[in-house]
Chains A and B, each alone.
Chain A
Amino acid sequence: MADGQRYYLLRHREVPDIDQIAVYEAHEGYSALRRALKEFTPQAVVDLVKASGLRGRGGAGFPTGMKWGFLPNDGRPRYLVVNSDEAEPGTFKDRELIEHNPHQLIEGMVISAYAIGSHEAYIYCRGEFLHGAEQLRRAIREAYARGYLGENILDSGYSLDIHLYRGAGAYICGEESALLESLEGKRGQPRLKPPFPAVAGLYGQPTIVNNVETIANVPMLILHGAEWYRSMGTEKSPGLKIMSVSGHVRRPGNYEVPLATPLRTLIETYAGGVEPGQLKAIIPGGSSVPLLTPDQIDTPLDYESMMAAGTMLGSGGCIVMNDRTCMVAAAARLVKFYRVESCGKCTPCREGTYWMANVLERLEAGAGTDRDLELLLDLADNIGGKCLCPLGDASLGFMVSAIRHFRDEFEAHVREHGCPLGANRYDTVNH
């Protein structure tokens, strides 16, 4: 990483073996928990998180403290569920966090569960994260042995159990209501909302679902305070964000940046610039968001600037594409992802992603017709906003923006009966 870069969430890069509890403790580990239990009431922790302006890092960017505030005060048991079902193409930050610093997440969970008055918490870890799950399982065991979990934590009178739950291969389980269905041992299909999980979540009880990175922020909020957090980023997007950079860059990887850092700094300084070739398009926030073009590379990486630029910060998965990348092929590949991952519950998403993928593949193969572009946009129109969960909408962002910015390229595929970029022909295996 570039000189002068400071690590917070990615501190394991400076501290070898911080996944071991003794090393974690030797580097201020669990001191935030001690302080929270001793000096903060649960409400004071909620107020701190609200004051920090921390927003959900899973993709939606919803203010975390506000979400916690939605829990009804009706005496029912409450659950905290951490979403570690990271599977959005371009996003790989939670994997690094759980594999390399699992105690940071566990400490954040205990503090967060204390804040919302939960005595039972879950980590839903995607099935493919076998190593991550092993790291978490070991860390949970160590935390119990040291008295950071279980009955009467650090003599505070507060008790918490954490369960690790492994998914089994389904992107949709990253959607919070589908995740809860899966956690109940069912097919991971989204629920109709409202009611939202804060009112009726896991087993019908009030539940907060937060992303790994979101919860991993909580210990440092306790240690350094809301003001410190707000000293980075903007008023509406305070603090730090891990950006995952992939695709055609010299140094793909995770980079922790203050929000509002220019996209150019991320790509050119941290990720070492575009290689090979010249920049053509950037997906800044995971596969579900519209693309940005090279003239937008100075857009600040914060929620409101990305919105103003016509896209979203999303999960922070930044996919960089060079000038040899065919936009039709890229759209076909992304839409195919949503076609495979659609749970099938809502017809517009199940059928729409199927037909969009078909049309895009035939365009790329040179068998498209003059009507195909309008057909794609019409299909998109019939999916957007018409499903129970955001997966259908997510399948549209890149494709619709690619048609808008690179219409010529789509039309050339029809006119020339094939991909004008030849070199990068779409030659995927059967699906």
Chain B
Amino acid sequence: MKPHWQTWAEELKQEFPRAHSALLPLLHRIQTEEGWLSPETLADVATLLDLPVTTVESVASFYTLFYKRPVGRRVIHVCVGLPCALKGADALMHRLEAHLGIRQGQTTPDGAVSLFEAECLAACDLAPVAQVNLRYRGPVPPEAFEALLKEDE
């Protein structure tokens, strides 16, 4: 446990009428710093908020953006919802998989890139759309997949 997590927990507990509400924001903050939420981290969060560890694990496991395994430095979410599928999202995903040598849901062995499917990113006007570390990129035609592996200009 890092000492400033205690400060964060106290701040967030103050913000809401009930301390339990602090759970999601605290998980967000810690994950932003740590990159993912290890079992040890979840136990620390349980201690900080005085919640059962099982509650924290249960909540963390419900939400797709809480990573229970280490992820790459660059996390790519490719939207595969219907509007994106109509514009070539599947081909985009296949190109990325082939290029990176991983399947969706996996991370490259060097820890550089994780590739995930996203269920509708609410940006169908940018289809096929993706997010890189939660920043929108789109439209990304399948043949332009490499744009997702480069920094944003």
Chain A interfacial positions (CB closer than 8 Å to B): 86-92, 94-95, 120, 126-131, 163, 165-171, 182-189, 203, 244-248, 252-254, 287, 317, 319, 321, 325, 329-330, 333-334, 337, 340-341, 343, 427-431
Contacts and interface: CB of A to CB of B under 8 A. Distances in A.
A360 B80 CA distance: 17
A89 B82 CA distance: 7
Best-surrounded residue of B21, B24, B120 (most CB of chain A within 10 A): B120
B24 A163 contact: no
B24 A187 contact: no
B contact patch SS: mixed
Interface of B: 15-18, 20-25, 27-28, 58-59, 62-66, 77, 80-83, 85-87, 90, 93-94, 97, 103-105, 117-125, 127, 131, 134-136
B115 to A, nearest CB: 10
Contact of B120 (A89, A167, A184, A247): A89
B63 A130 contact: no
Nearest to A329: B85
B24 A185 contact: yes
Given A168-B28, A185-B59, A253-B125, 17 more contacts: A89-B124, A90-B81, A90-B120, A126-B122, A128-B134, A129-B122, A163-B15, A167-B24, A168-B27, A170-B62, A170-B64, A248-B86, A252-B124, A319-B86, A337-B81, A427-B90, A429-B93
A243 B100 CA distance: 37
B131 to A, nearest CB: 7
A397 B75 CA distance: 33
Nearest to A321: B86
A417 B118 CA distance: 30
Contacts of A89: 81-83, 119-120, 124
Contacts of B83: 89-90, 246-247, 319
A98 to B, nearest CB: 11
Contacts of A131: 135-136
B85 to A, nearest CB: 5
B20 A91 contact: no
A60 to B, nearest CB: 18
A170 B86 CA distance: 23
B142 to A, nearest CB: 12
Contacts of A428: 80, 85, 90, 93
A90 B21 CA distance: 30
B63 A429 contact: no
Contacts of B123: 92, 95
B118 to A, nearest CB: 7
Contacts of A427: 90, 94
A169 B135 contact: no
A418 B87 CA distance: 21
A128 B131 CA distance: 9
B122 A94 contact: yes
B122 A252 contact: no
Contacts of A86: 122
30 contacts: A87-B122, A88-B120, A89-B83, A92-B123, A127-B65, A128-B131, A129-B122, A165-B25, A166-B24, A168-B27, A168-B28, A169-B64, A170-B63, A184-B18, A185-B22, A245-B125, A247-B82, A252-B124, A252-B125, A253-B125, A317-B124, A325-B86, A330-B82, A333-B81, A337-B120, A427-B90, A428-B90, A429-B94, A429-B104, A430-B103
Contact of B97 (A120, A429, A431): A429
Best-surrounded residue of A248, A317, A321, A429 (most CB of chain B within 10 A): A429
Contact of A128 (B15, B122, B124): B122
A246 B139 CA distance: 12
A183 B59 contact: no
A337 B21 contact: no
A184 B21 contact: yes
Given A128-B131, A340-B119, A92 B125 contact: yes
Contacts of A170: 62-64
A168 B64 contact: yes
Contacts of B28: 127, 166, 168
B124 A168 contact: no
B125 A254 contact: yes
Contact of A185 (B20, B104, B121): B20
A216 B83 CA distance: 26
Contacts of B77: 128
B103 to A, nearest CB: 6
A182 B24 CA distance: 8
Nearest to A428: B90
A429 B90 contact: yes
Contacts of A88: 120, 122
B124 A244 contact: yes
Contacts of B62: 170, 187-189, 343
A151 B7 CA distance: 26
